[in-house]
Structures are given as C-alpha cells and as structure tokens.
Amino acid sequence: MFKKILIANRGEIALRIIRACRELNIKTVAVYSKADAESLHVRFADEAVCIGPARSTESYLNIPRIIGAAEITNADAIHPGYGFLAENAGFADKCADSNLVFLGPPSSVITKMGDKALAKQTMKAAGVPILPGSDGEVSGEEEALKLAENVGYPVILKASAGGGGKGMRVVNSPDEMSRSYAMAHAEAETSFNNGGLYLEKYLTTPRHIEVQVMGYRDGSAVAFGERDCSIQRRHQKLIEESPSPAITEALRQSVCATAVQATKSVGYVGAGTIEFLFDKGQFFFMEMNTRIQVEHPVTEMVSGVDLVKEQILALAGEISAPLKVTLLGHSIECRINAEDPSKGFMPSPGRIETFHVPGGPGVRVDTHAYAGYNIPPFYDSMIAKLIVHGRDRKEALQRMARALDEFIIEGVATTIPLHRKLVSEGPFFSGDYGTYSLEKYLREQAENQQ
C-alpha cells in the first residue's frame, strides 16, 4: 500500500481524495498555486507545497514543479484527480521515470483512449457499437464531404484530441462543410495544439449515458451502473442522475456488459468512464474518460462504494473486482457553479460572504468553499456539488428541491436558482430530456420573459 500520495489538483476533488486517503491511513501532500493558498485542500492535507503563480500553466500544469514537490516530500504516488494533468500520458510517463506511481491507467491506454478517433477504432475492434463515420481522422474537407454523403446529413466534426465541446461543429448540408471544417480545425488547433478532426453521424435527440467502470490489476473489471448526463449547456454537464429514467433493466445490463468488455479490452486499471450516446433504444460509443469523473458521487450514492478508495486500492493491487454490484435507490447531482445563468453563464469570481450548506437525510455536499473564501478567476467556476439520494426518483427530486432551498451562497452569483427551476419543472423534472433539452428550455424561458 502507498505511504504518501501527492494530489496534483485543487479544490473539491483534492479535498475528496484527501478524505479517502485518511480512511486508508495514507499521508497526503497538497500542491497549490498562490491563488489557492486559502483553499481547504491546503488546510486539510498533511503537507502542502506551493508550486507557482495563479496561472495553471505555471502551477497545476507544470509537470517539473509537481514532480519536484513529490520528490521533496517523499511521496510514492501521485493522484491527478480530474482535469489538468489527469489524462496526460506524458505526465504518467514522467511519474514512472521518477519512480512515482501514477494513480491512473498506463500511459499507453491514456494515449489510445485520449485520441478520440483512435479510441473509436479500438472500440470497434472490441465489438463495441460506434456511430457511422470516419475510421480515424479525416484527411481534409474533401474526404469529409464524401463521408458525409455516405453517412447522411446531419454529421458532426469533432476534434480528435478534444473534449468539452471544443473543436466541434454540426454540419447540416454540403454547403456548410467548408466553413464548419475550417472553424472546427482552427478551434482544435488552438485548444489542443492538434487540428485533427474525425466525422460521425449526428444524432438529433440523443441522451448522454455513461457507465462507471473500474479495472483491476488481475485483468478483471466491473461496472457500477450508469449515469444520465444529458442536461448540458454548450456540451458542459450541469445535472447528473443515476439510474437513467430512460433505461430499462435489460438495457442497463446490456450497456454495463459492453462497458466492462471495453474496459478489459484495453487492459484498463483504475477508475474510468465509458460514455455512450443513446438514441431510439441503441447505444453508440462516444469516448472513454481515463480518470475519476466530476459526477462520481452519484454512483457512490446508489452503489454504496467509495470509488476513490476503490480506485486507490485497485491501483495498489490490493483488491480485485467485486463479485456483485448492488444498486439501490436514486441519486441526483447538481453542479453549483459561480456563474450567472441570466448573463449567459458568465463566471462570477469574488468573495463569498455567506455560505450555508444543506443537510438532513440523503444529502451530501462536496466543496472546498466557505464563508470568506475568495473564488479565483483563473480556474473552473464549479464551487460545490450537491448530491442527494432517495428511495426513488420522485423522492430524490423532492430532496434536491428542499436541499437547494437550504443552500445559501451570498456575495457571488451561482447556478442555484436555475437548479431550483430544473428540479421542479421542465424536461429534467419530467425525465423526458436529451442533450439539447436544457438549451431549448433556456431559450423558451428567455422568450417568455421578453
């Protein structure tokens, strides 16, 4: 077992990992930028090392400084959390070169699954259903036009090295291809230093369904059920729930078995997520996230498994896959962002004057914020995750509505008012929603106010 783990991340996920390590009697090292000196993950770690200025390129993305912090504190492993360097194969290799265990899958797997076009080829070879489209990157606009004609419009261009909606354009007709291709290529080049694109059939009413998986050193793997992450704005998730209200038990068994097959086929070790698009009763592979997910607490609530502890134990070779995973009840997670939905989700950094978290049965809050905390403008705007669990979806919705009413944050704008609406009306409340439902709902709300 590891004696000391350095956490190469910040905020609530760093604090979440510290808590798991405490229960495993593992010492922790926090790293932080100058902007995060007052963050709770710095306060609760056993040791803390400042690794640079506020900009992430000079701190949380600075591999030499992170490796140096691990070496001077005698850490024997590094947990990357999510974001930043979590899916950076070069970072995983640097850890290995420094005799540090990278708490994620092998770098070869990160590389294979991080390239979206190569990941599709890999999954197709493993027998996982994929959307019709290119077998890898398209060579240029001309090939994209030919493929689109064969697949049928609409199609979507996606960045091979991308994520988060960057380098992505929907093409509805041949006339749109030239402009869309140029824009997607340029955005991919700017965002990922890689302008490669691949093409696939565009589904107009899909749901975003992902399966939480865990791979073990003995080659086994297990699925911990699915999460529905379809409530999104600009391809960024806002609410997640498990189980999905659109999935039958038979479909659940099928997609989980497919996810386990995919996980084992690439020799995956640790926590990961297989993401699918679901449309008209069919699942299509979208991508694999080779890390712990923001929304992992939803799965923890219905499975009763601490996924971060499970991840650490799996990577330490201490355990193998459980014989059975039992899922109970229903869970919902709302991402509480310091953003103003009325102003196009404009970030709202600044000082939190009041911070009161909800409580009671089945309520959990993961956060690094507190009254008096200054939200820096340099990082992601998420300041808390509110997670509830109920016997069924109806109780979970009621519990979330009650918890949101109790959640008081003053001094900055947040998404709490929007979440209050979403859990009591509209497509999420009804359960009949897809990946574009939120944006349609917001447009309708804005039009009604005019």
Q: What is the pLDDT of residues 101-140, one digit of tens each?
A: 999 999 999 999 998 888 989 999 999 999 999 988 999 9
Confidence band for 369, pLDDT divided at 50, 70 and 90:
very high
Closest CA to 237 of 333, 306, 331, 159: 333
Residue-level pLDDT at 164: 67
Instruction: Spell out the alpha helix ranges (H) of 247-289.
Output: 249-265
Question: 357: Cβ–Cβ under 8 A, 6 or more apart, which residues?
Answer: 365, 367, 384, 406, 407
Residue scoring higher pLDDT (192 or 213): 213
Domain positions in the chain are: 4-103, 132-201, 207-449
Tokens of 258: 């497919």
DSSP H/E element including 313:
helix 307-315
Quote the mean pLDDT of the chain.
Answer: 96
- The least confident of 49-58, 165-174, 247-256 is 165-174
Task: Name the CATH code of domain 4-103 (choices 3.40.50.2300, 3.40.50.20, 3.30.2130.10, 3.40.630.10).
Answer: 3.40.50.20
Q: Is the pLDDT of residue 222 over 90?
A: yes
User: What dotted CATH number matches 207-449?
Assistant: 3.30.470.20
- Indicate if 132-201 has the same CATH topology as 4-103: no
Backbone φ and ψ for 120, nearest 5 degrees, come out as -60, -45
Residue scoring higher pLDDT (160 or 221): 221
Question: 362: Cβ–Cβ under 8 A, 6 or more apart, which residues?
Answer: 301, 388, 389, 390, 396, 399
- Distance between CA atoms of residues 194 and 182, nearest Å: 13
- Distance between CA atoms of residues 16 and 21, nearest Å: 9
Question: What's the predicted TM-score (pTM) here?
Answer: 0.92
Tokens 């009306």 map to which residue? 425
DSSP state of 100: -
- Distance between CA atoms of residues 87 and 442, nearest Å: 32
- Distance between CA atoms of residues 258 and 376, nearest Å: 41
Peptide bond into 243 cis (omega under 30): yes
Residue-level pLDDT at 300: 98
Average pLDDT over residues 376-390: 97
Average pLDDT over residues 250-267: 96
Look up 291 and say whether it is catalytic. Answer: yes
Residue-level pLDDT at 446: 84
Q: Is the pLDDT of residue 286 over 70?
A: yes
Residue-level pLDDT at 448: 83
Residue-level pLDDT at 184: 97
132-201 adopts what CATH topology?
Dna Ligase; domain 1 (3.30.1490)
Residue-level pLDDT at 135: 85
Q: Please tell me which residue in 10, 169, 207, 291 is annotated as part of the active site.
A: 291
Tokens of 277: 């698009």
